Amino acid sequence: MGHLAVTTGVTRVDGVRLHYVRAGSGPLLVLLHGWPQTSLCWRPVLAELAADYTVVAPDLRGYGLSDKPVSGYDKRRMAADMAHLVEALGFERAAVVGHDRGARVAHRWALDRPDQVERLALLDVVPTREMFRRLDASVASGYWHWLFHLQPDLPERLVGHDVRGYLEYFYERWTYNRHGLAPEAVDAYVEAFSRPGALRAGFDDYRAQEQDLALDDADYAAGRRLAMPVLALWGSVGLPARLPALEIWRAYAEDVSGAEIPECGHFIAEERPEALVEHLRGFLAGETIR
């Protein structure tokens, strides 16, 4: 990352110590990672984005170097973590980019605190509610891990014997540009999920599904949609590419633009960092993709 000054910090929020990295100056841009990763996934785009923004990339509750409590993995609580982190850092508003599970936290954050989330970019997901509404054989075969991770206790027992083998299955199956996930990054992810409590916390993120869906259903029934500008991006290889992703998001947000990133799998920031930065720069500057 050249001479980019990257600092690390820890802030206690809701009794949980949240670890984050920070770089740059200017308006706040928060980057939220997914499973099975940590804030490290943003390293390929950090320098470019930090040229114009104060970029903060936290490890979500239960992930990376953040604490791994035994509760609080519903998206409302995880989103509140982020809201309070922003306030603790001295900012009133933020643009937010979320990938995978981080996008689900970001979606809930923007619904619960529209005063705080100025613009929202969601990477390689469709809403949680839509995932389960569309749970046919194709979706189930592509996202079988959701159903596995929901089971109590069993995933920890089976995966714990070979954390690397399990995670590397996803790094290979979900990528187009496999070289984008550098060996040292994979090693760091394996180390992170090998720490005490880390597997359980990651699976608890999925196990909060019942609470998350109840909130999503209530918002949808009330006609509550995202009001801020939303950007949906997805890789050309993966489930969102097989769904009408943009059309789906337009049922949940008032102002949606989006694009498919060609020759890209699930891990967009690492597989196609230049393309991601280009899309984000335009979106964050107020340009629209149609």
Active site residue 219: no
| DSSP assignment of 218-261 | HHHHTT--B-S-EEEEEESSSTGGGTTHHHHHHTTBSSEEEEEE
Paired residues of 23 in beta bridges: 6, 55
Which of 100, 124, 205, 216 is flagged as catalytic? 100
Is-contact 178 235, C-beta < 8 A?
Answer: no
How many Cβ atoms are within 10 Å of 25's Cβ, its own excluded? Answer: 12
Q: φ and ψ at 139, to 5 degrees?
A: -65, -40
Q: How many CA atoms lie within 13 A of 271 on its CB side?
A: 21
CA-based end-to-end distance of the chain = 32
Residues 176, 249: Cα–Cα separation, whole Å: 24
Which tokens sit at 250? Answer: 């337009």
- Who's near 125: CB < 8 A, 6+ residues apart? 98, 99, 100, 103, 104, 234, 240
Which tokens sit at 271? Answer: 């597989």
Active site residue 145: no
Q: String of b and e for 112-149 (b: at least 16 CB within 10 Å)? A: bbeebbbbbbbbbbbbbbbbeeeeeeebeeeeebbeeb
Which tokens sit at 186? Answer: 């994979």
Angle between helices 101-112 and 209-221 (to 10 degrees): 40
Catalogue the active-site residues: 100, 266
